[in-house]
Amino acid sequence: GYEAADREKSIRDQRWIIEHATLIRTDQMERFARLGVLVAAQFQPYRGRPGPDEAVPMREMLDRGLIVSSGSDWPGSTNNPFVPFYFYVTRKTEDGRVRGAAQKITREEALRVATINNAYMTWDEKIKGSIEPDKLADFLILSDDILTVPEEQIRSIRPLATYVGARKVFSLEGGGF
């Protein structure tokens, strides 16, 4: 369907998105990359969902130049953003089993996928997704450094404070902010 639409009028640079690309194949990645289609990944394998260990092939998608975002809207899934981050970095499920170790990505890549890439997908990269001059001052103060904390502690990271437009809108009681 994407290729048919592209034949009518180019979809490149229109930021068309493939959603729930959990079981995306290599040939599909190549076709999406050629068309400039973005990928909204989901991390269902964390909960031991059926499917191959290579489900949500983050490493391969990034290596093929696809712009990938993270998140989950899976029923019964967690709303803790550090859980998909943990899965993409470790490829460990809830029960500690590694699924698709070759698909691990770095913490820096996982952070980009969750911030800058998410903003890009909604055409908001000029105002959010990174901390830079002239962008919204939305940020979190975390309990630990997500780039250096031991892997097994990533899921335990908690926001101590949340700022939106440079205004504190949340502060964990006793969190110090």
State the pTM of this model: 0.89
**Residue 93: burial class (beta carbons within 10 Å; 0-12, 13-18, 19+):** middle
Model pLDDT, residue 8: 96
What span, in angstroms and rounded, lies between the C-alpha atoms of 12 and 176?
Answer: 46
Q: What is the DSSP string of 152-165?
A: GGGGG--EEEEEET
Residue range 115-173, pLDDT digits in tens: 999 999 999 999 999 989 999 988 999 999 999 999 999 999 999 999 998 899 999 98
Does the pLDDT of residue 104 top 80, yes or no? yes
| pLDDT, greater one: 24 or 47 | 24
Model pLDDT, residue 119: 95
**Residue 47: burial class (beta carbons within 10 Å; 0-12, 13-18, 19+):** middle
Residue range 25-66, pLDDT digits in tens: 999 999 999 999 999 987 766 665 656 777 889 999 999 999
Q: Confidence band (pLDDT; 50, 70, 90) for 79?
A: confident
Report CA-CA distances (Å) from 29 to 2, 37, 67.
13, 9, 11
What the block records as the tokens of 119 is 């903003």
Model pLDDT, residue 126: 95
Strands 68-69 and 159-164: unpaired
Segment 96-125 shows an average pLDDT of 95
